C-alpha cells in the first residue's frame, strides 16, 4: 500500500481518457520519497541513509565498521589529493574552476547549467576544467577520475545534499526524465532501478543487501570488493544495467546524468558519506 501511494505521487502519467496529470513538483516528490523510506525503516536515523545497506542491516554494518578501520579507498584519496593539487601546464589548478576552490562542494552536484541546458555532474565539471585549461579529459568511471572525486567527496563528508532545480523549464524537464528513467523497466529482466532500491530496499539479492534509493549516491565514489578498485556513480549505473541485462549507456550519457540529478535531489538533506566502500 505504501509503495502504491509513493508511485502514485512520483510517476506522473495519465492513461488515455484520464484527467491530465498535475504539473510536476519536485519538492512534493522529495517529501513523498523520503517519507516512504522513513516509514519503511522507522529505526534508521535519517542521516544514516547515506550509508546504504549498512544503515538497514546490522550484520553488514558490523563488518563495515571493521573494514573502516583501514578503509580500502585511502590510496585513492592520496592519489586524488596529489592530482587535484598538481598544476596544469598553464600553471592553473583545479581549484581555480570551482566554488570555494573545490573544497566542500560535492553535495551541490549535479547542477543544471543554464548555458547549455544540461546536467553537469562533478565528473563532467572536472573534465570541463581540464579542457578549459588545455588538458585532455580524464578517462571516466575509474582511475584518476574516481580518485579526484573521492578527494573532493571527502571534503564534503557530513554536508547534506543541497541540489537545486532552478526556475527553468529545461531543468524541470531534465529532472522529469531522470525520474522516468529511475522508474522505467528495462532490459531482458524487466527491472527498474526502483524494483531493487524502492520496493526491494533492505532485502537480499544474490548475497547482497539492496540499498535504499534514499541517500544511495551519498557514498560515491566507492571501492567495491568485486571491482577491486574505486568507481564513480556512472560506473555503478553501467554495472547495474549489465546486471539487469539492459544495454549499458556510455559513461556520462545524458540519461545517467539526469537520473543522478533526480536521485540527488530526492536525497536533499541526507549527508555526504563518501568516499565509501561496498561488497
191 plus 245 within the same structural domain: yes
pLDDT at 10: 52
110 plus 172 within the same structural domain: no
pLDDT at 17: 42
Measured distance CA(211)–CA(203) in Å, rounded: 8
Measured distance CA(256)–CA(250) in Å, rounded: 9
Cα dihedral across residues 219, 225, 226, 227: positive or negative: positive
183 plus 270 within the same structural domain: yes
pLDDT at 1: 46
61 plus 89 within the same structural domain: no
The residue from 94, 123, 154 where one domain ends is: 154
The residue from 132, 154, 176 where one domain ends is: 154
Which positions are catalytic? 240
For residue 41, give its domain range.
2-70+166-278
pLDDT tens column, 137-179? 999 999 999 999 999 999 999 999 999 999 999 999 999 999 9
128 plus 264 within the same structural domain: no
185 plus 48 within the same structural domain: yes
- 116 to 111, 131, 172: CA distances (angstroms): 11, 16, 14
Q: Is the pLDDT of residue 131 over 60?
A: yes
- E-strand stretches of 107-157: 111-113, 118-120
82 plus 193 within the same structural domain: no
206 plus 89 within the same structural domain: no
Residue 161 lies in a domain: no
Exposed/middle/buried for 270, CB within 10 Å: 0-12, 13-18, 19+? buried
Measured distance CA(140)–CA(20) in Å, rounded: 41
> How many CB atoms within 10 Å of residue 220?
27
Number of domains composing the chain: 2
181 plus 123 within the same structural domain: no
Residue 101 lies in a domain: yes
231 plus 112 within the same structural domain: no
Measured distance CA(123)–CA(125) in Å, rounded: 5
Q: Is the pLDDT of residue 208 over 90?
A: no
Average pLDDT of the segment spanning 248-274: 97
CATH at 81: 1.10.760.10
Residue 105 lies in a domain: yes
| φ/ψ of residue 185, rounded to 5 | -80, 140
Q: Is the pLDDT of residue 19 over 90?
A: no
pLDDT at 261: 98
Q: Is the pLDDT of residue 18 over 70?
A: no
274 plus 193 within the same structural domain: yes
Enumerate helices (H) and strands (E) in the chain, giving the number of each.
Answer: 11, 7
Residue 160 lies in a domain: no
195 plus 243 within the same structural domain: yes
pLDDT at 6: 55
Residue 36 lies in a domain: yes
Residue 109 lies in a domain: yes
Which pLDDT band, with edges at 50, 70 and 90, does 20 fall under?
A: low
141 within 8 A of 234, measured Cβ to Cβ = yes
The residue from 125, 154, 183 where one domain ends is: 154
Amino acid at each position: 500500500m505504501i509503495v502504491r501511494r509513493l508511485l502514485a505521487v512520483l510517476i506522473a502519467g495519465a492513461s488515455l481518457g484520464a484527467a491530465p496529470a498535475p504539473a510536476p513538483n519536485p519538492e512534493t516528490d522529495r517529501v513523498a520519497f523520503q517519507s516512504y523510506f522513513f516509514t519503511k525503516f522507522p529505526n534508521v536515523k535519517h542521516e544514516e541513509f547515506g550509508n546504504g545497506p549498512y544503515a538497514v542491516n546490522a550484520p553488514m554494518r558490523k563488518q563495515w565498521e571493521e573494514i573502516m578501520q583501514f578503509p580500502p579507498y585511502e590510496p585513492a584519496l592520496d592519489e586524488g589529493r596529489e592530482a587535484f593539487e598538481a598544476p596544469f601546464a598553464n600553471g592553473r589548478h583545479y581549484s581555480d574552476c570551482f566554488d570555494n576552490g573545490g573544497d566542500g562542494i560535492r553535495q551541490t552536484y549535479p547542477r543544471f547549467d543554464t548555458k547549455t541546458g544540461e546536467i553537469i555532474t562533478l565528473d563532467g565539471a572536472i573534465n570541463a576544467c581540464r579542457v578549459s585549461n588545455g588538458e585532455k579529459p580524464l578517462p571516466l568511471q575509474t582511475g584518476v577520475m574516481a580518485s579526484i572525486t573521492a578527494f573532493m567527496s571527502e571534503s564534503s563528508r557530513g554536508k547534506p545534499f543541497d541540489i537545486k532545480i532552478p526556475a527553468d523549464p529545461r531543468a524541470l524537464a531534465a529532472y522529469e526524465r531522470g525520474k522516468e528513467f529511475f522508474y522505467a523497466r528495462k532490459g531482458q529482466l524487466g527491472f527498474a532501478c526502483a524494483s531493487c532500491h524502492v520496493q526491494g530496499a533492505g532485502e537480499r539479492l544474490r548475497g547482497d543487501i539492496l540499498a535504499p534509493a534514499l541517500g544511495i549516491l551519498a557514498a560515491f565514489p566507492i571501492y567495491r570488493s568485486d571491482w577491486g578498485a574505486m568507481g564513480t556513480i556512472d560506473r555503478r549505473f553501467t554495472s547495474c544495467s549489465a546486471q539487469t541485462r539492459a544495454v549499458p549507456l556510455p559513461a556520462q550519457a545524458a540519461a545517467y546524468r539526469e537520473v543522478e540529478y533526480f536521485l540527488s535531489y530526492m536525497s536533499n538533506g541526507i549527508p555526504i558519506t563518501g568516499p565509501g566502500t561496498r561488497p
